[in-house]
């Protein structure tokens, strides 16, 4: 259900809860990380024989804690995950992209995951090293981070075979209008090369909680955020470049059809909760 205000307030009365809850969530990101997680990341860095796996599992726990804190601070904001979403393994996941919360939500769902991250973030001290240790890939195929991308692509087959998921937002950026943008072929080319299934996900309403272009969380509304598995596209071993385009078009049509049907559901009163569970 799209946002319904709990109270028709404006100005300072509306901004105050947004500000307080935003500060608490950022406190979790900073002090919470240092107090409760940093020592485990350090131990994984120094002692783990499977460092990448350890970092990914720690990332999952950290972001799962973030969303549970959100649920405690904003119990009127509901987060529902379709039960079959959590059964996805060894797949390239493609999904629509509405908010910065989307990748964090997918990280919280899967203990073994990889994704593509803005290249400039790899240059940030400590944080960039955490991205490398987590097995994440830079978005730019050229430049000084090319070796990271090549190394990760070389190990992708083994990662997927071991049950890991690679998730990519083929629009390449967040939608500021809610409409679906043009898709890039990268995710579908990777699926072709690895002969991996493509899991088509749909995320709804994360933009009502953390809107593009806004620093504060929007806390004063009643919203249901959902994550759904729409379909699995099973690639053939004899793909041509045209087949990659067909897979991309199929995925985009699935997401666009679901986007339109969700708008109808919201107009009729919301989502039936059978087959969904909390994060």
Beta strands in 22-112 (DSSP E): 77-82, 92-95
pTM recorded for the entire structure: 0.91
Alpha carbons 15 and 19: distance in angstroms, whole number: 6
Q: What is the pLDDT of residue 220?
A: 84
Q: What is the pLDDT of residue 222?
A: 85
Q: What is the pLDDT of residue 259?
A: 93
Report CA Rg, the chain: 19
Alpha carbons 220 and 162: distance in angstroms, whole number: 42
Average predicted confidence (pLDDT) for the chain:
90
Query: Which structural domain range is residue 180 located in?
Result: 4-278
Mean pLDDT to the nearest integer, 150-157 = 96
Say if residues 112 and 96 touch (Cβ distance below 8 Å).
no
Here the CATH number for the domain that contains residue 110 is 3.40.1130
- For 4, half-sphere exposure in the C-beta direction (CA atoms, 13 angstrom radius) is 10
Over 50: is that where the pLDDT of 5 sits?
A: no
Q: How many domains does the chain have?
A: 1
Say if residues 188 and 244 touch (Cβ distance below 8 Å).
yes
Give the number of other CB atoms < 10 A from CB of residue 270: 12
* Three-state DSSP string of 118-174: CHHHHHCCCHHHHHHHCCCEECCCCHHHHHHHHHHHHCHHHHHHCCCEEEECCCCCC
Q: What is the pLDDT of residue 48?
A: 97
Q: What is the pLDDT of residue 142?
A: 78
Over 50: is that where the pLDDT of 1 sits?
A: no
Say if residues 95 and 40 touch (Cβ distance below 8 Å).
no
Tens digits of residue pLDDT in 238-274: 545 558 999 999 999 999 999 999 877 776 666 667 7
Mean pLDDT to the nearest integer, 120-132 = 95
C-alpha distances in angstroms, 206 versus 94, 100, 105, 235?
Answer: 16, 8, 9, 30
Split at pLDDT 50, 70, 90, the class of 275 is: confident
Mean pLDDT to the nearest integer, 22-37 = 96
Split at pLDDT 50, 70, 90, the class of 228 is: very high
Q: What is the pLDDT of residue 239?
A: 44
């Amino acid at each position: 259900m799209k946002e319904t205000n709990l109270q028709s307030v404006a100005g300072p009365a509306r901004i105050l809860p947004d500000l307080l809850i935003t500060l608490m969530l950022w406190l979790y990101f900073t002090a919470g990380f240092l107090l409760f997680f940093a020592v485990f990341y350090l131990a994984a860095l120094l002692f783990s024989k499977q460092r990448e796996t350890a970092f990914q599992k720690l990332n999952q726990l950290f972001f799962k804690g973030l969303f549970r804190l959100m649920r405690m601070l904003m119990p009127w904001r509901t987060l529902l995950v379709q039960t079959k979403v959590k059964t996805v393994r060894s797949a390239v996941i493609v999904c629509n992209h509405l908010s910065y919360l989307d990748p964090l939500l997918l990280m919280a769902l899967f203990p073994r995951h990889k994704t593509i991250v803005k290249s400039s973030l790899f240059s940030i001290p400590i944080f960039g090293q955490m991205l490398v240790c987590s097995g994440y890939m830079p978005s730019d195929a050229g430049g000084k981070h090319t070796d990271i991308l090549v190394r990760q692509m070389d190990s992708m087959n083994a990662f997927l075979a071991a049950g890991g998921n690679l998730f990519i937002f083929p629009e390449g950026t967040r939608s500021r209008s809610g409409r679906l943008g043009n898709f890039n072929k990268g995710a579908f080319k990777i699926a072709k090369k690895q002969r991996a299934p493509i899991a088509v996900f749909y995320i709804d309403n994360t933009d009502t909680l953390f809107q593009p272009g806004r620093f504060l969380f929007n806390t004063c509304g009643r919203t249901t955020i959902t994550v759904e598995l729409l379909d699995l596209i099973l690639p053939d071993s004899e793909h041509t470049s045209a087949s990659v385009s067909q897979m991309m078009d199929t995925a985009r049509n699935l997401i666009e059809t679901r986007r339109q049907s969700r708008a109808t559901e919201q107009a009729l009163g919301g989502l039936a909760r059978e087959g969904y569970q909390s994060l």
